[in-house]
Structure 1
Amino acid sequence: MTKVYTIASGKGGTGKTMTTVNLGTSLALLGNRTIILDADIGMANLGLVLGLERSKITLHEVLAGKADISQAIYELPTGLKVVPSGISLQGFQNADPDRLQFVMSKLVSGADFILIDAPAGISKDGVIPLAIADEVLLVVNPELSSMADAVKTKVLTEMVGGTVGGIVLNRASAEKTELTSQKIGDIMGVKVLEVVPDDAHVRRAAAFKTPVVIKYPDSPASLAYKRLAAKLTGSKVSLEESSTAKKEGFIDRLARSLFGGI
């Protein structure tokens, strides 16, 4: 049965898109049929971070009724499938977000997991992904403003009949974080599923349009994303096995195939 997660946050800049990309990649590397979809049809960063910004057919065309969803799916060598949104303003204007639920109904038969990268803030475009997911994962930074906005998103999710499945505490560092993840979970009334540390490797990998779990598979952030994927799947694949795979050259070959040996 397909599990649909919407990756959301109250404000922009929390690392929501990077969480979608790296969690999706980690799920795919565990052998799961995984699709990530950019429902942020206005800003559309998902395709940019994966080098798919020049895709001719995107979710924009699908939501405008000009293409079928099958034409907007791009498969990476990891096995991860991506549905990017376009970067043109005209495409955004033509897209009808009300068609998203219909689009999702056509995707579920071909996936074990679907991750929806939701737009930040409270708007019609942002409400639909919250309502159609099985669970919403909130990406929260250890800052009061991020937590306050995430609480609003949690309340909105519940108002539209959705369920918040947990928090991904992102960019956490001992120097900046006075509250523990448990306290943040208590304050927000939601369990913290994983803590992703503030890791410069994420920014370095992004410069190459590469998921950090591919470019730097043993970095602190990569290990956190892999743990989160294992929790969502109930997988018994250990991080030690992942490191062994890297030593055997699997990750290196995959990176060369994906990104030309960068």
Structure 2
Amino acid sequence: MAEAELPESEACRVVCMASGKGGTGKTTVTANLGTALAELGAETYILDADIAMANLGLILRMEDAPVTLHDVLAGEADIEEAIYEGPHGVKVIPAGISLEGIRKANPDRLRDVVEHIIDRADFLLIDAPAGLGRDAITALSASTESLLVVNPEIASITDALKVKAVAERVDTQITGAVVNRVTKDKTELTKEEVEKILETPVMVEVPEDPEVRRAAAFGEPVVVRSPKSAAAQAFKKLAAELVGIEYEVPVPDKEGVLSKVIKGLFGRR
């Protein structure tokens, strides 16, 4: 996809990707949204602020990065050493996975890292720890806005309400919610119900999609490995909305499935 002509932006949008509980797929959303934003031409950075349970590097095949956010927060490395380039040019700042690194990292230095990046970026997505621990609140307070990543179930929404309350207390604007892993089962909360409970708009519903797991197994975002999949289209739609452009629905292949099978059987080209 060619880069779109983006509306001019005066300041970097620092977006905390937050959730009230683990397992909502927040890191997957962060990696794919950041990659989709970069594909649209936005200068995008994604930062793994989940110091204790870092997973962003695993999803993007950067688990062996020699310098990580842990080293920066420990005062042992410069932030420039911890920035790596991912798919479509997205800049990635992974956190380490060693226990020693966790022990040395000082979360209070996170704001200094953010300040270093905002002058050069259009978007900085911060993958915050789930819950309301010290690290999570630090990530929220270092951001200008937040997206709540939830699942369509009451426990997830209830926990997200607590995050929303804390975000408002530290003057972080709630931009909206991302409802992830939607199956449309009758037991799930609907989009309208989620909006009513959270009192915030649902920006996109990301369907449960096996392509997401397959992509993660290969260390790639699904928007790269399976760009036409249902989940990838949802992430791309969200990215387009954030940059303020109209989302272009991909045109399906004109060639039918049956004709493809026939060609395969008879070796036609």
Fold agreement, TM-score > 0.5: yes
Question: What is the percent sequence identity of the aligned residues?
Answer: 52
Aligned with residue 207 of structure 1, among 217, 238, 243: 217
The structural deviation recorded for 1:177 is: 4.6
Q: Residue 88 of structure 1 corresponds to which residue in structure 2?
A: 98
Select which of 15, 23, 31 maps to 1:5.
15
- How do 1:182-221 residues align onto structure 2 when only pairs under 5 Å count? 182-221=192-231
Give how far 1:110 is off: 1.6
TM-score, normalization by structure 1? 0.90
- Tell me how far 1:133 sits from its aligned partner: 1.1
Structure-2 change in CA distance of 1:144 and 1:23 (3 Å): same
Residue 174 of structure 1 is matched in structure 2 by 184
- Show the counterpart of 2:28: 18
Counterpart of 1:256? none
- Does the 8 A contact of 1:57 with 1:67 survive in 2? yes
Q: Shift of residue 239 of structure 1?
A: 2.9
Instruction: Describe the superposition over 1:42-92 as per-residue Cα deviations: whole angstroms up to 9, x where unpaired.
Output: 111000111111111000000011111111000124111100000001101
TM-score where L is the length of structure 2:
0.87
* CA apart distance, 1:179: 2.8
Pick the aligned partner of 2:67 from 51, 57, 79.
Answer: 57
Q: Are the aligned partners of 1:40 and 1:85 in contact in 2 as well (CA < 8 Å)? A: yes
1:126 is matched with: 136
2: CA distance between counterparts of 1:240 and 1:210? 21
Structure 2 unaligned regions, length at least 5: 1-10, 254-269
For 1:139 and 1:133, locate their aligned partners in 2 and report how far apart those are by CA, in whole Å. 15
Mapped pair 1:72 → 2:82:
yes
> Contact 1:25–1:78 (CA<8 Å) still a contact in 2?
yes
| CA displacement 1:205-236 (0-9 Å, x = unmatched) | 11111100011101110000000000000123
Tell me if structure 1 keeps the 8 A contact 2:237–2:247.
no
Q: Which sits farther off after the overlay, 39-48 or 229-238? A: 229-238
CA-based RMSD of the aligned residues comes to: 1.4
Partner letter of residue 99 of structure 1?
A: R
Counterparts in 2 of 1:174 and 1:126: CA distance versus 1, 3 Å: same
Give the Cα separation in 2 of the matches to 1:237 and 1:163.
24
34-43 vs 160-169, greater mean Cα deviation? 160-169
Residues 101-150 of structure 1: per-residue CA shift (max 9 Å, x gap): 01100011121110000001111111011112111100010111111111
Larger Rg: 2
Q: CA deviation at 1:178?
A: 3.9
Aligned match of 1:252 = none
Q: Which moved more, 1:54-63 or 1:70-79?
A: 70-79
Shift of 1:162: 1.5
- Structure 1 unmatched ranges of 5 or more: 245-262
Aligned partner of 2:113 among 87, 103, 112:
103
Could you tell me how far apart the structure 2 residues matched to 1:237 and 1:189 are? 25
Structure 2: distance between partners of 1:218 and 1:240: 8
Conservation of the 8 A alpha-carbon contact between 1:142 and 1:176: no
Who is 1:223 aligned against?
233
Question: 1-side partners of 2:116 and 2:154: how far apart?
Answer: 39
Matches within 5 A, 1:239-258: 239-240=249-250
Residues 149 and 177 of structure 2 are in contact (CA less than 8 Å); yes or no, is this contact kept in structure 1? yes
Asked whether 1:35 is paired with 2:45, we answer yes
In the alignment, what sits opposite 2:174? Answer: 164
SS at match of 2:189: coil
